[in-house]
Amino acid sequence: MTEWLISKQLIDYPDALAQMDQRAADIHAETADDLVWLLEHPSLYTAGTSAKLEDLLSHDLPVFKTGRGGQYTYHGPGQRVAYAMLDLKKRQTQPDIKKYVWQLEEWIIRTLADFDVQGERRCGRVGIWVDMAPYGKPKGAESKIAAIGVRIRRWVTLHGISVNIDPDLSYFNGIVPCGLNEFGVTSLHDLGLNITKQALDERLQSHFIGVFDY
């Protein structure tokens, strides 16, 4: 069974980390169900375990170190974060982190497809990408619309994904997102779509079972 929690207020990042850690411990102890938590953070940067100091270009926002994989990313209003605390031992015949990351990617791709956005994987690049040529950009231009960062503790997952609905994209200029400075960042609004958080949440919930079913 998977519990869903949707927070309507902005959640401070340290509070989110503490709650994730506690829930993951409870899931491992089999005293709580798996949880998917949909939320937004105040504007901030997070540094994954592979973050390089030179990729932090601005000090205008708080920066939080975190145990997830990856490098720097931005979180803020207008960006939907989905933290997934799942017991992989129960969901997979053989716990497989690569398979789990693929599932997160597939979850985003199926969700975006409901809004006629073709999200794509790119070899060697984490996250989900959009070909920007159909949106008036030069041929070959690509931008990231969703980020992925995970941590696995005793085969229980932490962290998850973020999908850009309508964040202030200028904040991404303060970092080298995920260590890749040759690509842009986009959002559903940037692509000309007026999508609400509620609409995105509904589609995320709709596609979850088909991707992560036991």
Give the tens place of pLDDT for each residue, 48-102: 998 999 999 999 999 999 989 889 999 999 999 999 999 999 998 899 999 999 9
DSSP 61: S
* Element (DSSP H or E) covering residue 174: none
Contact partners, residue 22, CB within 8 Å, separation at least 6: none
Give the tens place of pLDDT for each residue, 6-25: 999 999 999 999 999 999 99
Give the structural domain span for 13.
2-212
Nearest to 40 by CA among 82, 4, 69: 82
153-166 average pLDDT score: 98
**What is the reported pLDDT for 54?**
92
Q: Supply the residues annotated as catalytic.
A: 178
Total count of domains within the chain: 1
The CATH number of the domain holding residue 6 is: 3.30.930.10
Q: Give the torsion sign (CA, 39, 42, 47, 52).
A: positive
Give the tens place of pLDDT for each residue, 195-213: 999 999 999 999 999 999 8
**What is the reported pLDDT for 180?**
65
- Angle, helix 97-113 to helix 197-212, in steps of 10 degrees: 140
Q: Which amino acid is at 16?
A: A
In which band, very low, low, confident or very high, does the pLDDT at 214 lie, cut at 50, 70 and 90?
low
Strands 44-47 and 72-75: antiparallel
Other CB atoms closer than 10 Å to residue 128's CB: what's the count?
A: 26
